[in-house]
Structure 1
Amino acid sequence: MKFNNIFVVDDDLVYHFVIKKLFNKYNIEAEAKFFFNGLEAIDGLKNVLKTEKEPDLILLDINMPVYDGWQFLDEFRKLKNNMSKDITVYLVSSSNDSTDIDRSKQYRDEVKDYYFKPITSKEFEEMLTSAG
């Protein structure tokens, strides 16, 4: 699948670096926007609502300051009906806590899958091929 716009929502700069390297490895030439918390990402979504800049893909962490991943998903749920396209969201978190994994199932209409950090090249490739 070709991606035009990708949102990476994570407060970890090392993860940002790794994702950029994976984008290069897989020749993803999408416009990637990086946000350090869920509130920044929601504001970013509101700014691009119904434009050609809406993301095709969102890689979302759970544990972040200001708005965590769950708060982002609650707000995303309210906005998604106003979007011009379906957006694939993957949770990518270092949390292997069963509470978080179970909670992610409450967002099955929003979240396509849950991946653990550190994400491997193989998992990243799976994401790309199953997105959309």
Structure 2
Amino acid sequence: MKKISNLFVIDDDKIYHFLLKNLFKQNGIDVASTFFINGHDAIEHIKTNPSGEVLPDLILLDVNMPIMNGWQFLEEFNKISGSLAKKPTIYMISSSNNEVDINKSKEFDGAVKGYFLKPICKEDLEKIFLY
């Protein structure tokens, strides 16, 4: 698997955070993970240091969250991405299998690399980490 040193997980489900940490461990994925429960907290964290020190290599982004959902995060992220020292790869990971959501993720083609349904599995992780 490709080495990802820093990862942001933006998802309001803390049980999912726990399960994802275990899935990483079980599959030998050693990555520094920062967890956010909404898009607003994550975007503010990114804005505090756009020089690259806090920027992740990879973002796993949920669609449905309170305060700022995944779509709103992407809109804000696109506004600031030009000023960032590096551009993280973003994957949408959601329990929504609604075609509207899946197709909407394709509208963010420059930012969103792919869309996976929860719960993600070992095969999904291999696709994500082998990008």
Alignment check: 8 A CA contact 2:52 2:86 kept: no
Structure 2 unpaired stretches of 5+? none
Offset, 1:25: 2.2
Question: What's 1:108 paired with?
Answer: 109
* Residue 57 in structure 1 maps to residue 54 in structure 2: no
Counterpart residue identity of residue 88, structure 1: T
Structure 1 unpaired stretches of 5+? none
Q: Please state whether the residue corresponding to 2:116 is helix, strand or coil.
A: strand
Equivalent-residue separation in structure 2 for 1:85 and 1:45 (angstroms): 11
Give the percent of matched residue pairs that are identical in Structure 1 and Structure 2: 45
Offset, 1:3: 1.5
Question: What's 1:128 paired with?
Answer: 129
Counterpart residue identity of residue 90, structure 1: Y
Question: What's 1:87 paired with?
Answer: 88
Question: What's 1:12 paired with?
Answer: 13
Offset, 1:23: 1.9
Instruction: Tell which deviates more after alignment, 61-70 or 98-107.
Output: 98-107
Pairing 1:20-39 to 2, within 5 Å after superposition: 20-39=21-40
* Residue 44 in structure 1 maps to residue 41 in structure 2: no
Offset, 1:19: 1.2
* Residue 69 in structure 1 maps to residue 73 in structure 2: no
Pair 1:98–1:16, CA change in 2 (3 A): same
Q: TM-score when scaled to structure 1? A: 0.93
Aligned length, in residue pairs: 130
Equivalent-residue separation in structure 2 for 1:64 and 1:111 (angstroms): 17
